[in-house]
Amino acid sequence: MKIGFIGLGIMGKPMCKNLLKAGHRPVVCSRNKATIEELSSSGATVATTPREVAAQVDLVITMLPNSPEVKEVLLGRDGVIEGARPGCIVADMSSIAPLASRQIAVSLAEKGIEMLDAPVSGGQPKAIEGTLSVMVGGKPEVFDRCVPVFKAMAASVVRVGDIGAGNVTKLANQVIVALNIAALSEAMVLAAKAGVEPELVYQAIRGGLAGSTVMEAKTPLMLDRKFNPGFRINLHIKDLANALETSHYVGVPLPLTAAVMEIMQALRVDDLGDCDHSALVRHFEKQAKIELKRAPAR
């Protein structure tokens, strides 16, 4: 299966590199000259437009910021829809609104193009490792054809339903992650303000019911003050906005999600939107007038 890849940012580039490591020779396009040169030197074929990518491949993977960008690349001028042959598959691995996925799929189907919505979880570290989790919506037979490609980038690949179901699942994932980081931040700031070393609290509770993948990934970043982005607050704001929009559409209140959304918005106002979402702790630190840090080595 010949693969095209569009969207070579913080997630897309390492995902594409893992396809190269697996022996694929993807057709790529990007406005970033350095990224194109890097992937080209590793064996990728370079195209100038999404239309040109689609004309050469059986499967087009997109990894883009949000619904408008996906619509532009897939349905816009010189877009994938203008170059893809009937039977071509589009796997949108971006995190976008489920309703947008369904609308795009209808437009593509009119040209005989199949679509999967296949967002991922794991952030940049797992994108680099090739151990992402992929949650997929779409026809079973189309999913089956794409599983080997997904497994070159991921440790877990699960079909969760028809088109749009992948992004519903990703929104649920992002709600859980956001609330976990907020709870972790609040608890660690409480411990620090009460005079207990946060690192010792972490070591004491990580093996119990409070332990989680979020705790393991984010506590060390908080303690080391390493807020360079693995997953930016701005992107999490985008995901929570999509979650809240979807919740209003289907009639499900999300009060905890709304509260964390407002905390993230406050951090963006403080020019922290491009920090990793572990920087949520900085909101609680600001309120408590304390900063988490590791204890000096004894």
pLDDT tens digits for range 122-143: 888 899 999 999 999 999 999 9
pLDDT of residue 93: 98
**Is 245 found in the same domain as 135?**
no
Residue 296, pLDDT > 90, answer no
User: Number of folded domains in the chain?
Assistant: 2
CATH number at residue 202: 1.10.1040.10
What the block records as the tokens of 4 is 């095209």
Mean pLDDT for the chain?
96
Closest CA to 28 of 41, 170, 146, 117: 41
pLDDT of residue 229: 84
The answer for residues whose C-beta is within 8 angstroms of residue 60's C-beta and 6 or more apart is: 3, 4, 5, 6, 50, 53, 54, 80, 84, 88, 89, 90, 91
CATH number at residue 80: 3.40.50.720
Q: Is the pTM of this model over 0.85?
A: yes
Residue 272, pLDDT > 70, answer yes
297 is a domain residue: no
pLDDT > 70: what percent of the chain?
A: 99
The answer for residues whose C-beta is within 8 angstroms of residue 111's C-beta and 6 or more apart is: 81, 84, 86
pLDDT of residue 298: 64
pLDDT of residue 295: 80
**Alpha-carbon span 69 to 79, nearest angstrom:** 11
11 is a domain residue: yes
β-strand 132-137 against 120-121: which pairing, if any?
antiparallel
Amino acid symbol at 269: V
**pLDDT band per the 50, 70, 90 thresholds, residue 6:** very high
What the block records as the tokens of 73 is 């690349």
**Is 173 found in the same domain as 158?**
no
Q: What is the pLDDT of residues 173-194, one digit of tens each?
A: 999 999 999 999 999 999 999 9
Residue 28, pLDDT > 70, answer yes
Sign of CA pseudo-dihedral 152, 155, 161, 166? negative
**Is 192 found in the same domain as 139?**
no
**Alpha-carbon span 241 to 257, nearest angstrom:** 9
57 is a domain residue: yes
Which helix (H) or strand (E) segment holds residue 160: the answer is strand 154-161
Domain end position, chosen among 141, 162, 183? 162
**pLDDT band per the 50, 70, 90 thresholds, residue 230:** confident
**Is 155 found in the same domain as 32?**
yes
Catalytic residue among 170, 218, 238, 289: 170
293 is a domain residue: no
**Is 147 found in the same domain as 11?**
yes
Residue 139: active-site member: no
